[in-house]
């Protein structure tokens, strides 16, 4: 791919920058947390809802993960390392780089077979969620991530389509992370990683560059992966109140192998092997070389003017190009196959922008802060699929089309201070999403067509600070999720299905959060979400799959986070989720699944972390994770047992002189070598539901910051 040489040259350039830190003398070393910092000294500002607020004035369930949690002793390879302690959030598929991590928040996104759907993903103000509602997490650079904010619940007022929850990542800038760093890591199953960073400030200019290269041989047969990633920011102050920032993100994954799912029996026989070679799938993923190849470039430009008239103006623009190829882990027969579509490739252009205006004023003598804006985005995919035989031969082009999705949203939010302790928050948004297909493969009929969907969203919240640093809130809001291009297929033949509509959700919740002077902090949320018009697959008389609005479900539960800094050196954190994810009205292919659990989701999770901060940079963390039982199919006939996992990490650092610090750290995942599954493949064919996880794995790293 033509961009690969470019990204590798830039990576070498970043290594060169490490030797020339800009204005970093006397600054804290990059990525080094201050020792013994307690949470009650910090004022946390939440920006993910787009109208910035202090955390204890936000009428929503929001979790904020800081740089220390993201980076300290971690591999910084997958998001589950950073987000395990967020209640209501569940990540699967850590070890299969070909399928990507599956993210769900309060049940939203759980039914997607891979990647992210139903949850909005933002990185440095750039929407990684496409107009059709899908997103990928593979380009998020955890080496430079400064904070990760998670909105646990519908946020369509802020982001439109597919906002059942929000994942908002902010990476480091030259001001927040000056200096340079080099890290090298190695671990079990052939894991190797090199990362370099440099940031600094020079007059009105600031920059931050992060580059990494990772190799992984894989736990299972045919599960190796390689990944190069670069993330960079360049900012210039244009005066006291104005600033412009350029953002660059480059991803190159030349290979990520897919070993495929396994039956329970084949897992018991050999957890390490790729998909078994029995039955319909009489082949090996090695023979067909299943896996993916990705090359992606993202550029963004952002302008902020804090004195634009009586308020503040923010303008953002972005462009993303993604070249993607994937051989799926199944094949047709040795002869006579039709319409298998087991090889997928697309060339994507995705671009757009936003404008936001914020102002503080008074309304009837009461303080009011409001924000209004517009989002626009366009996605163009040149997509094709092939039928591939067991031996890897491409025998037939089964799909060739251009898919376009265009979205436009207009939104407004406002916070009105009713008293010093009571605040009312209201928001509304109107979205218009157009889908268009030009079918170039006409031998099986013309599927060209278009659909336009309109949707109004709303939210309301009431916040009461019943004590200083203690808050009670009530909130309600909506979300919607449009069908994807494949779900628009028309059973009547040709074009788009005129009867299918977006899935909608209505959420209600009440929450408490606060912090005490004795180092104890808490966050409690009780929620209930009603999902209507769920998109449900069914087969027609010819055996072909289509979709319709036929399902309703309830997603409800209790989420708690507790933290206790019980000495200057020791801290205990706990996150518990008790939920109910059930179908209320769901019938497909003559089967009644009313009252069944939604597959792929544990209804009980509990994560505990005991952290010790010694002198200077010495630390240790013991982490336990409980993942409750779940089901793998709509009929609830396949169950996965619950599991307890224990992880341990520790490290130390030594000042070598001046600002140069040597750090060493190590970690053990699954300390007690428990057998479990990294991913559950929902409603898998031929009973191949299971993607086994490795047993005990270890890693260690050395870093130099200066």
Q: What is the mean pLDDT of each run of 10 residues along the chain (706 residues)?
A: 47 40 33 36 81 92 96 96 96 90 93 86 97 95 98 94 94 94 98 98 97 98 97 96 98 96 93 73 76 98 96 98 93 61 94 98 96 98 91 86 97 97 98 96 83 96 96 97 88 86 96 96 98 81 74 94 97 98 87 92 98 95 98 95 98 95 98 96 88 97 97
> Distance from CA of residue 348 to its chain's centroid?
20
CATH of domain 3-705: 2.40.170.20
pLDDT in the model for residue 41: 44
> Distance from CA of residue 495 to its chain's centroid?
32
Backbone angles phi, psi at 11, to 5 degrees: -60, -40
For 7-82, list the strands marked E by DSSP. 45-46, 53-54, 62-65
- Are the beta carbons of 479 and 129 closer than 8 angstroms? no
pLDDT in the model for residue 282: 53
* Rounded Cα distance, 88 and 601, in Å: 10
Secondary structure letter of residue 151 according to DSSP: E
Secondary structure letter of residue 14 according to DSSP: H
111 Cβ contact partners less than 8 Å away, ≥ 6 residues apart:
117, 598, 599, 600, 682
pLDDT in the model for residue 490: 86
pLDDT in the model for residue 332: 64
pLDDT in the model for residue 7: 47
pLDDT in the model for residue 278: 53
* Rounded Cα distance, 481 and 493, in Å: 24
């Amino acid at each position: 791919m033509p961009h690969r040489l470019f990204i590798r040259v830039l990576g070498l350039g970043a290594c060169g920058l490490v030797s020339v830190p800009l204005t970093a003398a006397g600054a804290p070393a990059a990525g080094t947390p201050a020792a013994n910092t307690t949470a009650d000294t910090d004022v946390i500002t939440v920006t993910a809802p787009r109208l910035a607020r202090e955390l204890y004035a936000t009428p929503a369930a929001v979790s904020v993960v800081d740089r220390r949690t993201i980076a300290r002793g971690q591999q910084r390879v997958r998001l589950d390392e950073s987000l395990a302690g967020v209640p209501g959030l569940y990540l699967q598929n850590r070890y299969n780089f070909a399928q990507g991590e599956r993210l769900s928040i309060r049940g939203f996104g759980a039914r997607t077979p891979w990647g992210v759907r139903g949850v909005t993903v933002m990185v440095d103000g750039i929407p990684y969620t496409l107009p059709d509602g899908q997103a990928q997490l593979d380009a998020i650079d955890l080496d430079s991530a400064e904070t990760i904010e998670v909105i646990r619940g519908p946020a369509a007022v802020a982001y439109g389509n597919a906002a059942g929850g929000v994942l908002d990542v902010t990476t480091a800038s030259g001001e927040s992370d000056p200096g340079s760093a080099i890290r090298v890591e190695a671990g079990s199953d052939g894991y190797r990683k090199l990362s370099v960073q440099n940031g600094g400030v020079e007059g009105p200019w600031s920059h931050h560059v992060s580059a990494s290269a990772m190799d992984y041989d894989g736990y299972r047969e045919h599960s190796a992966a390689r990944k190069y990633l670069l993330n960079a920011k360049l900012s210039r102050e244009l005066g006291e109140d104005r600033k412009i920032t350029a953002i660059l993100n480059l991803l190159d994954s030349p290979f990520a192998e897919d070993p495929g799912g396994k039956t329970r029996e084949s897992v018991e026989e050999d957890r390490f092997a790729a998909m078994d070679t029995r039955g319909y799938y009489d082949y090996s993923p090695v023979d067909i070389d299943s896996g993916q190849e990705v090359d992606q470039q993202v550029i963004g430009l952002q302008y902020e003017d804090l004195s634009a008239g009586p308020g503040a103006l923010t303008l953002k623009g972005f462009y993303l190009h993604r070249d993607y190829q994937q051989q799926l882990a199944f094949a047709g027969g040795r002869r006579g196959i039709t319409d298998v579509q087991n090889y997928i490739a697309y060339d994507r252009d995705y671009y757009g922008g936003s404008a936001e205006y914020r102002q503080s004023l008074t309304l009837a003598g009461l303080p009011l802060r409001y924000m209004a804006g517009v989002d626009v985005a366009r996605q163009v995919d040149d997509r094709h699929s092939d039928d591939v035989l067991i031996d890897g031969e491409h025998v037939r082009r089964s799909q060739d089309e251009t898919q376009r999705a265009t979205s436009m949203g207009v939104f407004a939010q406002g916070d009105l201070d009713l008293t010093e302790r009571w605040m009312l928050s209201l928001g509304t948004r109107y979205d218009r999403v157009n889908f268009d297909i030009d079918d170039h493969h006409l031998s099986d009929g013309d599927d060209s067509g278009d659909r336009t969907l309109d949707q109004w969203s709303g939210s309301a919240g009431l916040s009461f600070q019943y004590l200083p640093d203690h808050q009670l809130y009530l909130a309600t809001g909506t979300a919607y999720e449009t069908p994807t291009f494949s779900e628009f297929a028309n059973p009547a033949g040709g074009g788009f299905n005129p009867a299918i509509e977006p899935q909608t959700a209505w959420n209600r919740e009440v929450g408490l959060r606060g912090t005490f002077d004795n180092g104890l902090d808490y966050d409690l949320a009780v929620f209930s979400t009603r999902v209507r018009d769920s998109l449900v697959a069914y087969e027609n008389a010819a055996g072909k799959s289509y979709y319709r609005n036929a399902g309703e479900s309830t997603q409800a539960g209790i989420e708690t986070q507790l933290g206790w800094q019980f000495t200057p050196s020791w801290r205990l954190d706990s996150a518990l989720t008790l939920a109910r994810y059930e179908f209320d009205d769901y019938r497909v292919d003559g089967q009644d699944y009313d009252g069944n659990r939604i597959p792929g989701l544990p209804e009980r999770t509990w994560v505990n972390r005991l952290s010790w901060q010694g002198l200077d940079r010495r630390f240790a963390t013991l982490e336990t994770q409980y993942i409750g039982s779940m089901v793998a199919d709509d009929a609830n006939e396949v169950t996965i047992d619950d599991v307890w996992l224990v992880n341990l990490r520790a490290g130390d650092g030594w000042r070598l002189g001046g600002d140069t610090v040597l750090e060493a750290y190590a970690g053990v995942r699954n300390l007690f070598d428990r057998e479990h599954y990294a991913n559950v493949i929902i409603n898998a064919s031929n009973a191949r539901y299971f993607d086994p996880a490795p047993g005990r794995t270890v890693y260690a790293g050395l870093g130099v910051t200066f």
